[in-house]
Amino acid sequence: MEKFFQLRERGTTVKTEVVAGITTFLTMVYIIIVNPAILSSAGVPFEQVFMATIISAVIGSLYMGLFAKYPIAIAPGMGMNAYFASVVATQGVSYQVVFGTVFLAGVIFIILTFTKLRETLIGAIPPSLKYGITSGIGLFIAFIGLKMAGIVVPSPNTMVTFGDLHQPVTLLSLFGLFLTLILIARKINSALFIGMLVTAIIGIFAGLLKFNGVASVPPVPVFLDMDIAGVFSNGLYTVVFAFLLVTIFDTTGTMIGVADQAGLTKDGKFPRAKSALMADALATTVGSTFGTSPSSAYIESSSGVAAGGRTGLTSVVVAILFILSIFFSPAISAISSLPAITAPVLIIVGCFMMEGLSRINWKTFDEAFPAFAIILTMPLTSSIATGIAIGIITYPLMKVVSGKWKDVHPILYVFGIIFLIQMIFFPAH
């Protein structure tokens, strides 16, 4: 195992990788409850989505761990599930037809992964945009953590404002945050995991974490509940394109961000990119055949990296825990329903991911502004893909007006135009 995953070369151990896998799993396990809740609003049976979510997470994370050997977990992506539900509601088609669009997007995704397009795209993204993507994701997940904890809340006057410290969940979140900060400052190993564990125990004693059972018999998976012909008869080509485009850039940006955070990129390059990119393409395609929206690399993987994860063993541990979760849905439902357990981790990991800001050349405006645009728009639009799109539109534009158009890879001009057209005419909400 040590040799296969190159643990020694990457300066890690089996114990560290297991703790990292548990940490990543606990910060992303909410998806097996949230994803079925969102897709069931579109008419898909809850139990069907529950099993499909786990199956796609296991396939994607296992492939990532065993073949790409990165500590990046895969599961159905947030945002795409909401878009799935909105297509069912606005287009007047059945959810089976929309699963057909996801399947077709997944197949195209796999074909593109066999080509050099996605690898070329990763190589074409300049360092300032890569650091902007990593930092933007960091700010975004920290903002998610603050909202989950109730530390910031919606406000009609200022969009968001400071939350109510009298709320028990907010108080417990702040306790978990400061406890974890102290553990990190004292250089305690597994600080993030210990912080979550102590917070969960206090949550039980405070009556905030209640278990209505621990284990249950898993539902039977449903296979091929889709209508591919309906995609063509209803002309849902733009939906296929939206799923494809958003998933490609969402997951590519996340992979770049997490790999860079783990120090696994070399000279701006992403080793074993094809295998890494195949993981989410495969998970999306297989997931659609069982009944879930497109899969993506998870930004919560950065919590496992922060806990020391550096190899694919972290992702394999995540996959194993997802398999076990099939039998423990009541307990997992209870844990994922208490934001105070995972919110502090997201806030702290957000800080870790801001490190790349120091490597952006802020004195060169045509490098600085596109990175700034990414960092600004990701949390404000709640979309990694939108932030990346803004960066890829503004970077070539700034270089052209600065007389440095030759410094831009041709593929960025192509995608800049595609994104501009997509954002104007086919926005994915």
Mean pLDDT of the 229-239 span: 88
- Residue 103: per-residue pLDDT: 96
The whole-angstrom separation of Cα 375 and Cα 103 is 32
Q: What is the pLDDT of residues 273-309, one digit of tens each?
A: 888 889 999 999 999 999 999 999 998 899 999 999 9
Weakest mean pLDDT among 54-68, 119-133, 390-404: 119-133
Question: Does position 429 have pLDDT exceeding 60, yes or no?
Answer: no
Task: Give residue limits of the domains in the chain.
Answer: 14-146+208-334
Task: With beta carbons less than 8 A apart as the criterion, state whether 282 and 74 touch.
Answer: no
Weakest mean pLDDT among 17-21, 70-74, 336-340, 369-373: 336-340
- Residue 55: per-residue pLDDT: 97
The whole-angstrom separation of Cα 99 and Cα 225 is 8
Which candidate, 183, 173, 188, places its Cα nearest to that of 346? 173
| Residue 286 half-sphere exposure toward CB, CA atoms < 13 A | 22
The whole-angstrom separation of Cα 137 and Cα 375 is 8
Residue partners of 175: CB distance under 8 A and separation at least 6: 199, 202, 340
Question: Does position 428 have pLDDT exceeding 60, yes or no?
Answer: no
Which candidate, 12, 26, 76, places its Cα nearest to that of 317? 26
Q: What is the pLDDT of residues 256-271, one digit of tens each?
A: 888 888 888 876 677 8
The whole-angstrom separation of Cα 296 and Cα 32 is 14
Maximum CA extent, the chain: 65
- Residue 338: per-residue pLDDT: 87
Strand partners of residue 152: 162
- Residue 389: per-residue pLDDT: 86
Report percent pLDDT > 70 for the chain. 99
Which candidate, 27, 329, 350, places its Cα nearest to that of 199? 27
Question: Does position 272 have pLDDT exceeding 70, yes or no?
Answer: yes
For the chain, what is the mean pLDDT? 89
Weakest mean pLDDT among 14-18, 210-214, 296-300: 210-214
Residue 10 is encoded by which pair of tokens? 């990457």
Q: What is the pLDDT of residues 39-97, one digit of tens each?
A: 988 899 988 999 999 999 999 999 999 999 999 999 998 778 877 887 888 788 999 99
Question: Does position 382 have pLDDT exceeding 80, yes or no?
Answer: no
Residue partners of 247: CB distance under 8 A and separation at least 6: 77, 80, 105, 109, 280, 284, 294, 295, 296
Q: What is the pLDDT of residues 159-207, one digit of tens each?
A: 899 999 999 999 999 999 999 999 999 988 778 888 988 999 999 999 9
Q: What is the pLDDT of residues 311-355, one digit of tens each?
A: 999 999 999 999 999 998 888 878 877 889 888 988 988 888 888
- Residue 193: per-residue pLDDT: 84
